[in-house]
Structure 1
Amino acid sequence: MMFFKKRKKALPSFEAELAPDVPFFAVGDIHGSDQLLQNLLVKLTDVAHPDAMLICVGDYVDRGEDSAAVLQRLYEMHSQSGGLMECLMGNHEHMMLNFLDDPVRHGSRWLRYGGLQTLASFKIAAPRGSSVADAEWMQVRDAFKGALGADLEDWLRNLPSQWITGNVAVVHAAADPELPIDGQDRSTLLWGHPEFDKKPRRDGTWVVHGHTIVDSAVSVDGRISVDTGAYATGKLTAALVEKAKVTFITA
């Protein structure tokens, strides 16, 4: 008797046309790379698309050397944008805010994932050694909180986790392909989802995201990936998203 393996049912392909209500630039993960950000902004100006919104997908801090400068630049740009710019929360901003709220519990983890460089950019000395007293964590937190300033901290705490136009959603990390965009868990938007790059969405919603480093920015199956690993590769990328068209610009 012959046995035949049952074929897996092929996943449906993603065929929805890209249809934002407004054109926009989506800037990938910056990670403290202020000079690259400055260079990219010049390139975006050269594209000469005055009607396009500017959306940053998160992860402005950690790993690179100039997080303080990046935050100040984005804060000032956003404040002066007249509603033409939006900055989203990334998982690294989330870790940094966790450190501010509970440094004893979250300090070691944040430093391991790039907080060390962020503290240095604010001229704050990080704790040394494998065993750090609670009082020292509190002192470092207080110094960082003072250097960051109330205005920047308040701005960071109020960053949204998604931005939507037409059938396009911009998030930091991912979206659960089985759930509508407005029903996503915030942790998924910030940290990712195991099925995000395996199953195409069935609701026709495109998702622009960072978080996961790709060699080159790419648009595939309704996902537009723009994190080209600025702090490690020296490449910062933005996607110009228009109706039925994506153009990538890299500095």
Structure 2
Amino acid sequence: MIGDLHGSSDLLFELDRIIDGRYRGWPVVFLGDYIDRGEKSRAVLEMLMQASPDASSSIICLMGNHERMLLDFLDDPKTGPRRWLRYGGLQTLASFGVPLPRSNSDDARAFEELRDRLAEAMGPEMITWLRHRPLNWRTGNLWFVHAGADPDLPMEDQDPDVLLWGHRRFRTQVRRDGQWVVHGHTIVETPHAKDGRIALDTGAYATGRLSAAAISRGEVEFFQTGTDKQF
């Protein structure tokens, strides 16, 4: 179970070596946010597409809110492009070799042209793969989502926006139904398991620490890039 990548393909390579050495054959769940902020979004997407080409794969890649923002831009470049660009879309565009429009261009038309250039650089196969990313994955009483969940609702009844963007009580209210939510999205200093939550986003693009968890028989073992220690 691997936290937010944000364009850190070098850390993904490093973590893959750890997994191959210690946990070969285990199912692997990526918690979303593969793009933006880091410099190698395209490389990360290409690696994940190759590793999980279809739903039968033992590698599960969930959708994060940054993938959702990118798809929203592709669907409607006139609405909200600045939000995506402000939160890391510039780095994603650069990774695909797509320049920003000239500053004196008409905004609506310029963003449409930007969308067209990005869609061409990504190609239909990659865009289709992104559109088909699930919002959650479950095994037993473990639920894997990108951002969080409403602690007052059963996991089967969660709002998709909450799974992608989080909930204001998620980090402070204990779940009482025995379900554990494994998530990224919110950067923490150290990955941890507490009160029905397992947090794995350690800001890899900024810290160089991509974190993961091996979960089995009610035990959680954390590991990350940059160290051989397990904790």
Could you tell me which of 143, 163, 171 is aligned with 2:145?
A: 171
CA-to-partner distance for each residue in 1:151-171, whole Å, 9 max, x for gaps? 110010011000000000000
Can you give the 5+ residue segments of structure 2 that lack an aligned partner in the other structure? 226-231
Deviation at 1:197, TM superposition (A): 1.1
Matched, 1:27 2:7: no
Could you tell me which of 95, 99, 110 is aligned with 1:136?
A: 110
Matched, 1:242 2:216: yes
The answer to whether the Cα contact below 8 Å between 1:44 and 1:249 also exists between their aligned partners in 2 is no
Identity value in percent: 48
Aligned to 1:15: none
Aligned to 2:101: 127
Q: TM-score, normalised by structure 1?
A: 0.87
Instruction: Flag the structure with larger Rg.
Output: 1
Deviation at 1:141, TM superposition (A): 0.3
Deviation at 1:222, TM superposition (A): 1.4
Deviation at 1:80, TM superposition (A): 7.5
Matched, 1:92 2:66: yes
Deviation at 1:107, TM superposition (A): 1.3
> CA–CA distance in 1 between the matches of 2:54 and 2:111?
35
Aligned to 2:228: none
> CA–CA distance in 2 between the matches of 1:51 and 1:200?
32
> CA–CA distance in 1 between the matches of 2:207 and 2:106?
33
Name the amino acid aligned to 1:41.
Answer: D
> CA–CA distance in 2 between the matches of 1:105 and 1:248?
40
Q: How does 1:221-232 map to 2 (within 5 A)?
A: 221-232=195-206
Q: TM-score, normalised by structure 2?
A: 0.94
- Rate the CA distance shift 1:81–1:194 in 2: closer, same or farther, 3 A: closer
> CA–CA distance in 2 between the matches of 1:183 and 1:130?
47
Deviation at 1:133, TM superposition (A): 2.1
Q: How does 1:1-251 map to 2 (within 5 A)?
A: 26-47=1-22, 49-79=23-53, 82-129=56-103, 132-251=106-225
- Rate the CA distance shift 1:140–1:164 in 2: closer, same or farther, 3 A: same
- Rate the CA distance shift 1:197–1:68 in 2: closer, same or farther, 3 A: same
CA-to-partner distance for each residue in 1:195-220, whole Å, 9 max, x for gaps? 10111111100000000000111111
> CA–CA distance in 2 between the matches of 1:127 and 1:53?
42
